[in-house]
Amino acid sequence: MSASRPIPVVCAVIEREGRLLLAQRPVDKHLPLKWEFAGGKVEPGEDPATAIVREIREELGCEIVITRALPRFPYDYTRVVIEMIPFVCVLAPGSPAPHPHEHVALAWVTPDQLKDYDLAPADLPVVASYRQI
């Protein structure tokens, strides 16, 4: 594999009433059936904050408000290296409830329940970072 720049990927840690939203990946995608914080790739020339709002609108059909950013970090999946750009968010006032347009399931979980879900590997450092704040 050539030494290229990591692919920028955003994710949203969406908070609601002490719970966090997890989404389960489709069976036919990379990391099938793993749970993750929803998000996706940043388009060329796109600001990461704009990207996460767009991705959540596309994937979950809802609107979010970013409350803070968590530290960015690289993650090496061997076949690809990403730069994870996590944001802590809340649902925007008047937003519809999240609905799994691309995922197979959604779950609102307490931070303590995160350990009970088979999270995508790049989401584990997001959890650690979230817990430090």
Q: What is the pLDDT of residue 3?
A: 57
Pairing between β-strand 7-16 and β-strand 81-91 as defined by DSSP bridges = parallel
Q: What is the pLDDT of residue 4?
A: 78
Instruction: Report the predicted TM-score, pTM, of the whole model to 2 decimal places.
Output: 0.95
The domain made up of 7-132 has a fold known as: Nucleoside Triphosphate Pyrophosphohydrolase (3.90.79)
Residue 60 CA to its chain's centroid (Å)? 11
Tens digit of pLDDT at every position of the chain (133 positions): 445 789 999 999 999 999 999 999 999 999 999 999 999 999 999 999 999 999 999 999 999 999 999 999 999 999 999 999 999 999 999 999 999 999 999 999 999 999 999 999 999 999 999 999 6
d(CA 2, CA 59): 31
The amino acid at 42:
V
d(CA 49, CA 52): 5
Residue spans of the domains in the chain: they are 7-132
